[in-house]
Amino acid sequence: MMLTLPDALTADQVAQFRHALERATWQDGRATAGHVALEAKRNEQLAANDPLAVQLGNAILDALGGNPLFISATLPLKVLPPSFNRYAGGGTYGNHVDNAIRALPGSAHRVRTDISATLFLTPPEDYDGGELVIEDTYGSHAVKLPAGHLVLYPGTSVHRVTPVTRGVRLAAFFWVQSLVRDQTQRETLYRLDTAIQQLTREAPQSSALVELTGVYHNLLRQWSHT
């Protein structure tokens, strides 16, 4: 399932992020690429231990921790701290699949990358190119969102970033290990939760609410892996 979360960050937060990232110390993004992706990657990133990356990453996690749509769609068990990249002057990242397992920085813990996430930080009119193209069984989907919007998509997807031929594209990216490993089951739970929320607004006294909520939690209990 591919899903867009509008306004994951406020306009003020985006402005603060961009101002800070304009003064950041960027490094060659190939330093974090695997041997297969090494030739396909041409961008810049902040080091994982850069204090600015840590500060901004924590702000993103704080914002998403209070975002009901993010919680419903991902059912997060573990979230890797967000990283930040910069594309300019033809910067691009060819077709690749994200590593299945990633180390949690500064610890012995590992995170399974069930869900990939990209948070756009630059308005689309400020740069040409830079689309995130995600391949799935229904074809290719080019994603270029307003600043502050987030896209979630399966970590199993082949994806790429097209060359940025004008301006600068700034974004944050990270991965989520979900309580529910199977993406079809996650999508089923998300759709069920969405229906429950709609019914809560439209018919709060309906007895069906209790039944549907029970079904949701019983499925979550059956499908979750902790």
Annotated binding site for 2-oxoglutarate: 169
Annotated binding site: 96, 98, 159, 169
Annotated binding site for Fe cation: 96, 98, 159
Q: State the SS3 of the chain.
A: CCEEECCCCCHHHHHHHHHHHHCCCCEEHHHHCCCCCHHHEECEECCCCCHHHHHHHHHHHHHHHCCHHHHHHHCEEEECCCEEEEEECCCEEEEECCCCEEECCCCCCEEECCEEEEEECCCHHHCEECCEEEEECCEEEEECCCCCCEEEEECCCEEEECCEEECEEEEEEEEEEECCCCHHHHHHHHHHHHHHHHHHHHCCCCCHHHHHHHHHHHHHHHHCCC
